[in-house]
């Protein structure tokens, strides 16, 4: 019994290791609804200005989410105070309505590539601010939104 328990613990520990991840945080949205005025914020300290990185958007949604995609405004503030604004479409379902993410029950997790092999030109604190851009005040069915930065 002890060996089985130890083996399971080891399996969980090894599966939790993620050597590619530099940063990852997911923020839960209250009542599984994303209000248009609510901004989801992430602050990341970057020290490596040489290596390329993939920047991904994490979306966890319920099966009752009424759309096949999610549009976001992403504001990025660089360590020197410069800001950029991107509009990003996050596809969540295919043309037939089948959810694209990994599902468990009525929950779906999707990762969307925002920037591929990007090099951060400055070391310091980067701020990422996500806003839903779906032209609806209360967007139902969005449970968590996150940011992941990883090695390619």
Go through the domains of the chain in sequence order and give each one's CATH number. 21-150 (2.60.120)
CA–CA separation, 118 vs 108, rounded Å?
Answer: 27
* b/e per residue 5-19 (b: at least 16 CB within 10 A): eeeeeeeeeeeeeee
How would residue 63 be classed by pLDDT, with cut points 50, 70 and 90? very high
In the chain, % of residues over pLDDT 70: 89
For residue range 88-101, what is the model confidence (pLDDT) as tens digits? Answer: 999 999 999 999 99
Q: Three-state SS for 105?
A: coil
| Residue pLDDT, tens place only, 91-146 | 999 999 999 999 988 999 999 999 999 999 999 999 999 999 999 999 999 999 99
Q: What is the pLDDT of residue 104?
A: 87
């Amino acid at each position: 019994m002890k060996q089985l328990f130890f083996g399971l613990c080891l399996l969980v520990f090894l599966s939790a290791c993620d050597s590619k991840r530099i940063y990852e945080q997911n923020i839960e949205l209250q009542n599984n609804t994303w209000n248009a005025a609510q901004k989801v914020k992430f602050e990341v300290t970057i020290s490596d200005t040489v290596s390329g990185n993939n920047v991904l958007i994490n979306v966890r949604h319920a099966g009752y989410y009424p759309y096949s995609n999610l549009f976001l405004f992403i504001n990025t503030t660089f360590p020197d105070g410069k800001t950029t604004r991107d509009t990003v479409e996050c596809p969540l379902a295919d043309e037939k309505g089948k959810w694209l993410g990994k599902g468990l029950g009525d929950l779906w997790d999707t990762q969307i590539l925002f920037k591929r092999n990007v090099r951060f030109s400055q070391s310091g604190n980067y701020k990422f601010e996500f806003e839903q851009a779906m032209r609806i005040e209360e967007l139902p069915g969005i449970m968590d939104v996150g940011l992941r930065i990883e090695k390619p």
